[in-house]
Structure 1
């Protein structure tokens, strides 16, 4: 599969609390995940980001999700995030993130939205909500998007879906509630992560640690 070495997973810990975030991240890391996102609509999200950044898991990128305005870009950078993810295309947010040295992964659904994000400087995009559109939608978009632009489908992607999305050209996948749910104990979280990552590795055809989702940077 082409470019397999650049394909990885973003773990989205929506709803995680600061007292739980390190343990959840370590379980993800143990399964080879090298990018952790804490959405800002999680309880005390900035504190969780600070704790993850201070914990310093080797080669693991810590990001902030649901970043909706320029002020939040500055806040998450101060907390230690190295990339931001958004559900929408906001040119000011994209430019602010890039100007402050952060990776920017804006959310899009249509070709028009994708090209607006690219015009603002984004080279990594989040197809959201992925399950509403499907792999065929991504495959069609790939025919017109610049080759250097990398798309991460997010939303409603389960273990059985990994191969179809990767075959359609996904640069990686973002797993949210399919991977982490705030009420899960360690055993439940371990099972969810293990099931998803086994399916992901099988789809990629690689053993061991997953490639870094931002390897091309």
Structure 2
């Protein structure tokens, strides 16, 4: 097993990872700034978003230190290196690849690999995951997360994929340490949609998570 880096304190405090994924990078900076100002302090930019690394690098210079930045859809060791160089403090992957886990540990980055079944969750944890991204969580719902929490009570779980704002609190009550939310949060903001509407969605999501925590 590789060296384990625990979940970031910002992630644990906020309980939300915003997944910024778009077909164009023109509004990435504005969206990141809007999310951070609205209280979402853990921001993931997927590497299949055009200009993702440049956006991460600029955001790290621009945003305060209490905003945690990460790279998503990380599939190779070289991408881990590039994310670290751009200022990311964590990486998120759709699956669990040993080479990615090892390189993340070498950089001291948080590592959130994707897994779904109990066997996959256990294997991802053994690789040194900071928390396991249960993906695609929305296909099975909060009840599934509650069920897998039973045998994996020591494994932090981060449901992602199809998690809507209206059910985010249900995942927290089911035992998630945080939720990863993309489309339901971003809406059309990356394509020219209202940033005021994005602010409203972000605030509602943060409030829903905080309310579920009591």
Structures share fold, TM-score greater than 0.5: yes
SS at match of 1:179: helix
Match of 2:55 in 1: 48
Match of 1:211 in 2: none
- Following the alignment from structure 1 to structure 2, what is the Cα–Cα distance between the partners of residues 192 and 146? 31
**Structure 1 residues not aligned, in runs of 5+:** 206-217
Match of 2:183 in 1: 177
- State the Cα deviation string for residues 118-156 of structure 1 (Å, max 9, x = none): 111113111111111211111111111152x21111111
Match of 1:189 in 2: 198
- Following the alignment from structure 1 to structure 2, what is the Cα–Cα distance between the partners of residues 20 and 196? 21
Displacement of 1:56 in angstroms is 3.4
Match of 1:158 in 2: 164
Task: State the TM-score, normalized to the length of structure 2.
Answer: 0.86
Match of 1:168 in 2: 174
Does the 8 A contact of 1:63 with 1:85 survive in 2? yes
Which range moves more in the overlay, 134-143 or 33-42?
A: 134-143
In structure 2, the CA distance between the partners of 1:76 and 1:56, relative to structure 1 (3 Å rule), is same
Match of 2:94 in 1: 87
Q: CA RMSD in A?
A: 1.8
1:199 equivalent in alignment to 2:205: no
- Following the alignment from structure 2 to structure 1, what is the Cα–Cα distance between the partners of residues 23 and 185? 12
Task: State the TM-score, normalized to the length of structure 1.
Answer: 0.85
Match of 1:72 in 2: 79
How is 1:1-217 mapped onto 2 (pairs within 5 angstroms)? 6=13, 8-15=15-22, 18-147=25-154, 149-180=155-186, 181=188, 182-183=190-191, 184-205=193-214
Displacement of 1:43 in angstroms is 1.0
SS at match of 1:170: coil
Displacement of 1:194 in angstroms is 2.7
Displacement of 1:21 in angstroms is 2.8
**Structure 2 residues not aligned, in runs of 5+:** 1-11
- Following the alignment from structure 2 to structure 1, what is the Cα–Cα distance between the partners of residues 175 and 23? 30
Does the 8 A contact of 2:173 with 2:213 survive in 1? no
- Following the alignment from structure 1 to structure 2, what is the Cα–Cα distance between the partners of residues 33 and 17? 21
Where does structure 1 differ by over 6 angstroms across 4 or more consecutive aligned residues?
Answer: none
